[in-house]
Amino acid sequence: MKNFAIQLEKFGSIENLSLQEVPVPITEDDEVLVKVYCTGISFADILIVEGKYQDTPKLPFVPGLEVSGIIQEVGNNVKNFKVGDEVVGLSSWGGFSEFVKLNSRFIVKKPRNMSFEIAASMTINYGTSYYALVERAKIRPGQRVLILGASGGIGLSAIEIAKAFDCKVTAVASSSDKLLMCEQYGADTLILNDTNNLKESIKKNNVEKFDLIYDTIGGQTTVDSLSCIKWEGKILIIGFASGDIADISVNKILLKGCDLVGIFWGPFAYGNKNFNLTCIEKIGNLYEKGLIKIAAPELYSINDFMKALAKIKNRESIGKLCLYTESYKAER
């Protein structure tokens, strides 16, 4: 078996990535070897490649955190999966390849009516949103939810999860095209923030304060969001797509009586012994019931990875982007 992978030799730029032939991973007792069909791309992949993420792998390494594919080998201790199973899973690294080894704790069987590309696109985005909104924020019907950076893959997933629980959703994005996508995903109210001044954009639209704020942007946007949170509301810190970390005076948290909730999920939470993929199974159930749609991602061949990564880096993407392998192209 040949294994082609997108490998990084030096941190700093996506231009440092190249498609190379690398050894097929050797599985250990608790692992499975998966022939990758599709792999999701997240903004975290860009930050990791640039050396700006909280968790830094050793070089050389292959990025890629979420995959879908077919099991080729199972370790001696693996009892719940077999060769030939169609699965979706999380990897600490290595997803941008033809073959990846995964700990059996971090895979689930792919829902039968779900395509491989949708399966690969849901794991981090929908898993994070479900965990954040349902398990950490204890979301309730009728609550008002503000989603910052709503047109990205993770923002759109938050819209769908919140609407599945009968919440009122306000989406904030930086262009009219992006807001149109948010509306298609179910957002009730749309706010254009093309000046990166959230406080002013909220004021212009004269909206009520929010029970929950889902913040994927970070930086000054997080600081500004304090002006529109209800008393005893929750601000969910999802990520830092702006590239900046918020500098917040703690007295503002006190005066609002609000909670700042850090959301650390997925492959970045491997150190948590209680971590599992229950969220993904529950999301699969919502999908099969028609409560969420998980729109098909924009697909790129693994050979065209640079185009896809550049589109995300330059914030030109709307929704999720995925890579597909030569195996997927040949066998599907």
> What token pair was written down for 263?
């959301």
104 lies in some domain: yes
139 lies in some domain: yes
What's the helix, strand, coil split of the chain in %, to 5?
35, 25, 40
pTM above 0.85, yes or no: no
> What token pair was written down for 139?
């979301």
Task: Check: CB of residue 145 under 8 Å from CB of residue 163.
Answer: no
Give every CB contact of residue 330 below 8 A, 6+ residues apart in sequence: none
The pLDDT score that the predictor gives to residue 274 is 60
Final residue belonging to a domain, choices 248, 266, 284: 266
CA distance 136 to 212: 11
Give burial (CB, 10 Å; 0-12/13-18/19+) of 167: buried
> What token pair was written down for 124?
């981090």
CA distance 244 to 260: 17
The pLDDT score that the predictor gives to residue 275 is 64
**175: amino acid identity, one letter:** S
- Residues 185 and 301 grouped into a single domain: no
- Residues 302 and 250 grouped into a single domain: no
- Residues 190 and 109 grouped into a single domain: no
The pLDDT score that the predictor gives to residue 129 is 93
Task: Check: CB of residue 301 under 8 Å from CB of residue 321.
Answer: no
Give every CB contact of residue 99 below 8 A, 6+ residues apart in sequence: 1, 3, 24, 25, 33, 34, 35, 36, 72
The pLDDT score that the predictor gives to residue 272 is 64
- Residues 109 and 22 grouped into a single domain: yes
Query: How high is the mean pLDDT in each 10-residue block of the chain (332 residues)?
Result: 92 94 94 96 88 83 94 95 94 92 91 91 89 94 95 91 96 90 94 79 81 89 85 90 74 86 72 70 89 90 95 84 90 72
- Residues 13 and 86 grouped into a single domain: yes
- Residues 99 and 131 grouped into a single domain: no
- Residues 106 and 158 grouped into a single domain: no
The pLDDT score that the predictor gives to residue 240 is 76
- Per-residue DSSP letter, 61: B
DSSP states along 100-168:
EEEEGGGEEEPPTTS-HHHHHHHHHHHHHHHIIIIIIS---TT-EEEEETTTBHHHHHHHHHHHHTT-E
pLDDT in tens, 215-237: 988 878 887 888 889 999 999 99
251: domain CATH number is: 3.40.50.720
- Residues 142 and 187 grouped into a single domain: yes
CA distance 171 to 187: 6
- Residues 322 and 200 grouped into a single domain: no
The C-alpha torsion from 318 through 190 and 290 to 210, rounded to 10°, is: 120
Domain that holds residue 155: 125-266
Give every CB contact of residue 33 below 8 A, 6+ residues apart in sequence: 24, 25, 27, 71, 72, 73, 74, 99, 100, 101
30: domain CATH number is: 3.90.180.10
- Residues 313 and 201 grouped into a single domain: no
The pLDDT score that the predictor gives to residue 268 is 57
Backbone angles phi, psi at 121, to 5 degrees: -90, -10
Final residue belonging to a domain, choices 266, 284, 318: 266
Final residue belonging to a domain, choices 247, 266, 285: 266
Alpha-carbon distance values, 167 to 132, 146, 184, 187, 204 (Å): 14, 10, 16, 10, 23
The pLDDT score that the predictor gives to residue 25 is 93
**82: amino acid identity, one letter:** K
> What token pair was written down for 9?
């030799």
- Residues 245 and 143 grouped into a single domain: yes
300 lies in some domain: yes
63 lies in some domain: yes
pLDDT in tens, 139-197: 999 999 999 999 888 899 999 999 999 999 999 988 888 999 999 999 999 998 877 77
The pLDDT score that the predictor gives to residue 217 is 84
219 lies in some domain: yes
106 lies in some domain: yes
- Residues 106 and 235 grouped into a single domain: no
DSSP 3-state of 6: strand
Nearest CA to 39 out of 56, 63, 17 is that of: 63
272 lies in some domain: no
Q: Is the dihedral of CA 86, 160, 316, 312 positive or negative?
A: negative
275 lies in some domain: no
Give the total number of structural domains in the chain.
Answer: 2
Hey, which residues does 22 pair with through a beta bridge? 3
